[in-house]
Structure 1
Amino acid sequence: MALVEINFDGIVGPSHNYSGLSLGNLAATANAGNIAFPREAALQGVGKMRHNLGLGLVQGVLPPHRRPNRDWLAALGTTAEAAESLRPAAFSASAMWAANAATVSPAPDTADARCHLTVANLRTMAHRSHEWPETLAQLRLAFADEAHFAVHEPVPATFGDEGAANHMRLCAGHDAPGVEVFVYGVSGGPFPARQHLEASRAIARLNRLDPARTLFVQQSGEAIAAGAFHNDVVAVANAHVLFTHEQAFADKAGFYGELKRLLPETEIVEVPASVVSLADAVKSYLFNAQLVSLPDGGMALILPGEAKETPAVWSWLEAMAAGNGPIRRLCLVDVRQSMANGGGPACLRLRVVADPATVDPRFLVDEEKLDRIAAMITAWWPERIAPADLADPELWGRIAAARSALLSALDLGELA
Structure 2
Amino acid sequence: MQSYEVNFDGLVGPTHNYGGLSYGNVASQSNSQQGSNPREAARQGLAKMKALMEMGFAQGVLAPQERPDIGALRALGFTGSDAQIIARAARDAMPLLMASCSASSMWVANAATVSPSADTADGRVHFTAANLNCKFHRSIEHPTTSRLLAAMFSDPEHFAHHAALPAVAQFGDEGAANHTRFCRAYGEPGVEFFVYGRSAFDPRYPAPQTYPARQTLEASQAVARLHGLDAAGVVFAQQNPAVIDQGVFHNDVIAVGNGELLFHHEEAFLDSAGVLEQLDSKLAARGGRFQAITVTRDQLSVDDAVRSYLFNSQLLSRPDGSMLLVVPEECRANPKVWDYLQGLLDQAGPVAQVKVFNLKQSMQNGGGPACLRLRVALNEAELAAVNPGVIMTAQLYETLTQWVDRHYRDRLDEHDVADPQLLVECRTALDELSQILKLGSVYPFQL
In structure 1, the partner of 2:24 is 24
In structure 1, the partner of 2:349 is 325
CA-based RMSD of the aligned residues comes to 1.1
In structure 2, the partner of 1:379 is 406
Residue by residue over 1:342-384, the C-alpha shift from the partner in whole angstroms, topping out at 9 and shown as x without a partner, is 0000100000011321211111111110110000001110111
Tell me if structure 1 keeps the 8 A contact 2:243–2:302.
Answer: yes
Map 1:124-139 onto structure 2 (within 5 A): 124-139=134-149
In structure 2, the partner of 1:304 is 328
Structure 1 Cα separation of the partners of residues 325 and 336 of structure 2 = 17
Tell me if structure 1 keeps the 8 A contact 2:107–2:371.
Answer: yes
What secondary structure does 1:346 align onto? coil
In structure 2, the partner of 1:98 is 108
- Which stretches in structure 2 are left out of the alignment for 5+ residues? 79-84, 199-206
**Match 1:316 to one of 315, 331, 340:** 340
Tell me if structure 1 keeps the 8 A contact 2:9–2:373.
Answer: yes
Q: Which deviates the most, 49-58 or 181-190?
A: 181-190
Tell me if structure 2 keeps the 8 A contact 1:382–1:399.
Answer: no
Tell whether 2:193 aligns with 1:181: yes
Map 1:161-172 onto structure 2 (within 5 A): 161-172=173-184
In structure 1, the partner of 2:307 is 283
In structure 2, the partner of 1:81 is 87
Taking structure 1 as the reference length, the TM-score comes to 0.98
Q: Which deviates the most, 212-221 or 35-44?
A: 212-221
* 1:326 CA displacement: 0.7
Give the AA of the match of 1:222.
Answer: A
Structure 2 Cα separation of the partners of residues 346 and 397 of structure 1 = 31
Give the AA of the match of 2:347.
Answer: G
Tell me if structure 1 keeps the 8 A contact 2:387–2:438.
Answer: no
Structure 2 Cα separation of the partners of residues 294 and 183 of structure 1 = 26
In structure 1, the partner of 2:204 is none
In structure 2, the partner of 1:69 is 69
* 1:401 CA displacement: 2.0
Structure 1 Cα separation of the partners of residues 400 and 152 of structure 2 = 18
Give the AA of the match of 2:280.
Answer: K
Map 1:132-147 onto structure 2 (within 5 A): 132-147=142-157
Structure 1 Cα separation of the partners of residues 145 and 53 of structure 2 = 24
* 1:189 CA displacement: 2.7
Tell me if structure 2 keeps the 8 A contact 1:103–1:164.
Answer: yes
Tell me if structure 2 keeps the 8 A contact 1:307–1:314.
Answer: yes
* 1:295 CA displacement: 2.7
Structure 2 Cα separation of the partners of residues 263 and 354 of structure 1 = 20
Give the AA of the match of 2:104.
Answer: S
* 1:113 CA displacement: 1.0
Percentage of identical aligned residues: 47
In structure 2, the partner of 1:361 is 388
Structure 2 Cα separation of the partners of residues 393 and 90 of structure 1 = 13
Structure 1 segments (4+ residues) deviating >6 Å? none
Tell me if structure 1 keeps the 8 A contact 2:151–2:440.
Answer: no
Tell me if structure 1 keeps the 8 A contact 2:152–2:439.
Answer: no
In structure 2, the partner of 1:53 is 53
Tell me if structure 2 keeps the 8 A contact 1:13–1:403.
Answer: no
Give the AA of the match of 1:386.
Answer: D
Tell me if structure 2 keeps the 8 A contact 1:302–1:331.
Answer: yes
Corresponding pairs, count = 416
Q: Which deviates the most, 245-254 or 78-87?
A: 78-87
Give the AA of the match of 1:360.
Answer: N
* 1:406 CA displacement: 2.3
Structure 2 Cα separation of the partners of residues 189 and 273 of structure 1 = 21
Taking structure 2 as the reference length, the TM-score comes to 0.91
Tell me if structure 2 keeps the 8 A contact 1:56–1:295.
Answer: no
Tell whether 2:296 aligns with 1:272: yes
Give the AA of the match of 1:336.
Answer: K
Tell me if structure 1 keeps the 8 A contact 2:148–2:439.
Answer: no
Tell me if structure 1 keeps the 8 A contact 2:325–2:355.
Answer: yes
